[in-house]
Amino acid sequence: MSRKYIVFTGGVLSGLGKGIAAASIGNILSPTYKVIPIKCDGYLNVDPGTMNPIEHGEVFVLDDGGEVDMDFGHYERFLGVTCKFDWNLTMGKVFDRIREKERRGDYLGKTVQMIPHVSNFIRDHFLRVGEETQAEVVLIEIGGTVGDMENELYIEAVKSLSRKVGRENVLFVHLTYVPIPSGVHEQKSKPTQQSVSLLRQKGIEPDIIIARCSEMLSDNIKNKIAVSCNLDKEDILTGLDVDNIYKVPLVFENQGMSKLLLKRLDLSSNTSLLPEWERLIKQRENAEKQITIAIAGKYTQLEDSYASIIEALHHCESLFSVKIKLKWIETSEGSFDLRGIDGVIVPGGFGSRGVEGKINIIKHCRENKVPFLGLCYGLQLAVVEFARNVCCLEGANTTEVDPSCLYPVIDILKEQKNILDKGGTMRLGCYVANLKSNTMVNSLYCSSEALERHRHRYEVNPEYHKILQDHGLIFSGLSPDGTLVEFIELSKEIHPYFVATQAHPELKSSLLNPAPLFKGLIEASLKKR
């Protein structure tokens, strides 16, 4: 079979869930076909690694160390693939490469232009990724909405792709919005018509329209959209608002999505993972137990900053059939109230704002046997707390906060000392840790090794390994050379669950395979109840 490309564009509004829609279509096809995603962002940053999470949402890290946006989290969780940095294009990355090529002389004698040089470069990127991965279906998500200046070249590139590989091998899916204005109480199709008209002016005829709406589209509105967009009624689907993103593939499938995709792409068969998903979704919906987990961070005004942590907790809700209520604690605000809390997560972070608040919360968890999971900065601050209050190293700190502190128990990684550039220079990506036998971490991973993703510049200072261990801090996972502390815990005899990792295990959690350390936290929190 020839390789198929499904291109996703959006209209009317941003934030309609184009990434989720694309991932859901991939999910429907992925048990049978090798599906890989490519995401195209219009911004001029090379990657989102240097953006503030409050502005852009979580920075997702891939196995290969690529820093990408959180849509890749959805892709990995919905498709079961390990994505590559190469599958994310940003205009920053594109122009970087074009400049490199121009300096090398690849365009010798030519005037380098947006069209065809940049657009062809993007098109060839799609073709190359398809070829290198031997994908059967390549999903291409174009960020933003049609009409955004920064995404124009991607539109040109997919047009050119369709000419090159044949229109029959490319499916254009356009995501729009059908509002029901208050007072009118009627589904409105005009924004969709206008957005499709704009897409057509750019030379793209959509094959499928998914219209996001708070209720199922009426036959009447589907007919209206179909006629005005030159499509059949069956090509118009509702992107129904749901309370759980894992329902989106089911919502699509109930409207005949796989039949439509197979017909349009001339594919023969499809098996489905959806019954298993449905079972897990039901398990979460039918939950009778409830626990409250606090997330103590400094980016709490935007929940997307902690997107993967929230997802990992959702996976546990399904696994344990428990409802997890989240309590956000803004640690830069001084006081906090941990009454009624069954477990605490101190997530990753940077800089000094909110740090003392996090340390106080960790102290409270340690002293009061509240289940605690520390992630990255959460591990580092748990070490600072332990050093100050158990090892009696008053004045212990991380040099990230206080470069001249008395006891620098957390210090910059040796290889990071001379790095000045900020973009893409942290210790990034997947690293293996050897797990100490008979520890909680060891039994949760059911393995003597853990492979998790990292994103940090600081580490537990080797000069303090001995004193920390002598006072009872268990180093349950170390880098293979024994120098980096990757996992810590307190003995089960003194605390039901006090575990932290230098890694970000939330990034690899999925509905079918929840992250082991989150499982441990929820299990302990349930027991506490």
- Kindly give, in sequence order, each residue whose CB lies less than 8 Å from that of residue 227, ignoring residues fewer than 6 positions away: none
The answer to whether 56 is a known catalytic residue is: no
Q: Taking a C-beta distance cutoff of 8 angstroms, is the pair 281, 478 a contact?
A: no
Cα 33 from chain centroid?
23
Smallest separation (angstroms) from ligand GLN to the CB of 382: 12
Nearer to ligand GLN, 265 or 503 (CB): 503
Nearest alpha-carbon partner for 20 in 339, 250, 232: 250
Nearer to ligand GLN, 78 or 350 (CB): 350
The answer to whether 205 is a known catalytic residue is: no
Cα 459 from chain centroid?
24
Q: Taking a C-beta distance cutoff of 8 angstroms, is the pair 74, 56 a contact?
A: no
What secondary structure, in 3-state letters, does 38-56 show?
A: EEEECCCCCCHHHCCHHHH
Smallest separation (angstroms) from ligand GLN to the CB of 416: 9
Q: State both tokens at 283.
A: 């398990």
With b for 16 or more beta-carbon neighbours within 10 A and e for fewer, the 298-315 pattern comes to bbbeeeebbbbbbbbbbb
Nearer to ligand GLN, 17 or 57 (CB): 57
Pair type for strands 67-69 and 59-61: antiparallel
Among residues 152, 317, 506, 523, the one annotated as catalytic is: 506
CA distance 163 to 204: 11
Nearer to ligand GLN, 73 or 130 (CB): 73
The answer to whether 506 is a known catalytic residue is: yes
Smallest separation (angstroms) from ligand GLN to the CB of 390: 22
Nearest alpha-carbon partner for 116 in 60, 171, 161, 84: 161
CA Rg value for the chain: 25
Smallest separation (angstroms) from ligand GLN to the CB of 457: 4
Torsion, Cα 498 501 504 507, to 10 degrees, reads -60
Q: How far is CA 263 from CA 153, 226, 297, 437, in A?
A: 29, 18, 48, 53
Q: Taking a C-beta distance cutoff of 8 angstroms, is the pair 303, 253 a contact?
A: no
Nearer to ligand GLN, 11 or 505 (CB): 505
Give the DSSP H or E segment for 127. Answer: helix 119-133
Ranked by CB distance to ligand GLN, the top (closest) residue is 348
Smallest separation (angstroms) from ligand GLN to the CB of 345: 12
Nearer to ligand GLN, 209 or 313 (CB): 313
CA distance 448 to 438: 10
Q: Which residues bind ligand GLN (CB under 6 A)?
A: 348-350, 376-377, 400, 455-458
Among residues 74, 125, 454, 504, the one annotated as catalytic is: 504
Smallest separation (angstroms) from ligand GLN to the CB of 479: 14
Nearer to ligand GLN, 113 or 483 (CB): 483
Smallest separation (angstroms) from ligand GLN to the CB of 396: 16
Among residues 376, 385, 454, 495, the one annotated as catalytic is: 376
Question: Which residues are designated catalytic?
Answer: 376, 504, 506
